Amino acid sequence: MERRSTSSAPAAASASSQQAAPTSGQAAPTPPPEPAASPQGPEAASPAPKKKARDPLLDNARAILIALVVVGHTLEQIHTPLAEIVYTWIYSFHMPAFVVITGFLSRSYRSEPRQVARLLTSMLIPYLIFQVIHTVENNVIDGKPISISLWDPSWTMWFLLALVFWRLFTPVLRVLRYPLVFAVAISVIAPLDSQVGTELTWARVLSFLPFFVLGFVATPEHLRKLRDLPGARAIGAVALVGAFLVAVLTHGMFSTDIFTLSRSYADMDVAAWYGVVTRIMVLICGTVLSLAVVMVSPRRHHWYTEIGVQSLTIYLAHAALLQIPRNLEWSDAVTKDWQTVIAVAMALALVVLLSRGPVVRALSWVTSPPIEKFLVREPEGRSTAPAATKP
């Protein structure tokens, strides 16, 4: 099977606080949800509302998805039959699901100064840091002079940049009568432009937009109905297992490029009509399987729930670590299916390791650097007078 070296996300999606309302689906790893708008200024003297509790369903879904992200990246350059089948299955839904969650957690985004500041410090700054890390790793291993490009995201970095654009799009989405129809049209039409590609990750920004909008227009009531559907877990499991069987039966019949949504139809060397039909099928597949992930996700807190909480840290850190064996092409040594199973087990162990508290704290200086007070102005109306000194 033809398989290009691609990235996956996700949500984004971040390890910061999340809304109580659950949803489906960079990842991410998904980013922190934005708190609802509140008045600012001298009159806003009432105490801040209590922080809402996290919903384990979302964190469990993100735990499943970030594990699939790391497994997918581990298998990306392994070409055993088992690796190719699992890779195709993962890529058919894991990033769509992450982006759906990202959209749901962006429902309260109103482009308020504090929200824009959070977007800057939690997405753009980590993007810049890890873009530099990836570039240095690539250049050093390849023995080339270090040359950094901030406009062409390296490997997994596309998700962070895409999330910034999606959240900035939210004012437009709010005024559209049919935002989901609009997003689907954009996703299908955009690849007709042969210039759409990886620069500023525009191909993915536009192509994954329907999944973001799906989460954005969803409500907690929609999720409750999906979650409480009779036999929801069985239905979700059947859908995911069915997708895996399709991946087995179609092994070697098509390129997984159709799932990465990172190239124009011309760049994939397919006719426009074929590209359009395929794109629509991919959008349907991603939507159905994203809903299936929500259906099978446990609703209560478990030991692995923390993996979902720390999904952004895992997303950022695992790629920086896997970049080394990826560039050294160590995957060429994996030629048997049993070796593939070991590689998957190692990937899952890495997920657990990166979610542990000491590791998260050690990495926080690059995954969430505490530089907000140096970059962002104090909101208007906030007192800047020094606190009274106790005698």
**What's residue 331's pLDDT?**
85
Residue 30, helix vs strand vs coil: strand
**What's residue 381's pLDDT?**
58
Q: Report the alpha-carbon distance of residue 141 to residue 144 in Å, rounded.
A: 8
Dihedral of the alpha carbons of 240, 241, 243, 244, in degrees to the nearest 10? 120
**Hey, what are 18's tokens?**
């999340």
Dihedral over Cα of 302, 244, 331, 126: its sign: negative
Residue boundaries of the structural domains of the chain: 12-36+53-375
**What's residue 52's pLDDT?**
62
Count of Cβ atoms closer than 10 Å to residue 179 Cβ: 21
**What's residue 370's pLDDT?**
84
**Hey, what are 198's tokens?**
């990886």
**What's residue 46's pLDDT?**
40
Q: How many residues does the chain have?
A: 391
pLDDT in tens, the chain (391 residues): 545 444 544 544 443 434 433 333 334 465 555 444 443 343 334 444 455 667 789 999 999 999 999 999 999 999 999 999 999 999 999 999 999 999 998 998 888 888 888 888 889 999 999 999 999 998 888 888 888 888 889 899 999 999 999 999 999 999 999 999 999 999 999 999 988 887 888 999 999 999 999 999 999 999 999 989 999 999 999 999 999 999 999 998 988 889 999 999 999 999 999 999 999 999 999 999 999 999 999 989 999 999 999 999 999 999 999 999 988 888 888 999 999 999 999 999 999 999 999 999 999 999 988 887 777 777 665 544 444 434 3
Q: Report the alpha-carbon distance of residue 147 to residue 140 in Å, rounded.
A: 10
Q: Report the alpha-carbon distance of residue 310 to residue 307 in Å, rounded.
A: 5
**What's residue 369's pLDDT?**
87
**What's residue 391's pLDDT?**
36
**What's residue 151's pLDDT?**
87
360: exposed, middle or buried (Cβ count in 10 Å: 0-12, 13-18, 19+): buried
Do residues 162 and 27 touch, judged by C-beta distance below 8 A?
no
Q: Report the alpha-carbon distance of residue 382 to residue 231 in Å, rounded.
A: 51
Do residues 305 and 59 touch, judged by C-beta distance below 8 A?
yes
Q: Report the alpha-carbon distance of residue 91 to residue 50 in Å, rounded.
A: 38
Q: Report the alpha-carbon distance of residue 123 to residue 256 in Å, rounded.
A: 28
**What's residue 145's pLDDT?**
84
Give me the residues paired with residue 77 across strands. Answer: none
Q: Report the alpha-carbon distance of residue 360 to residue 33 in Å, rounded.
A: 20
**What's residue 30's pLDDT?**
54
Closest Cα partner for 216 from 6, 14, 23, 20? Answer: 23
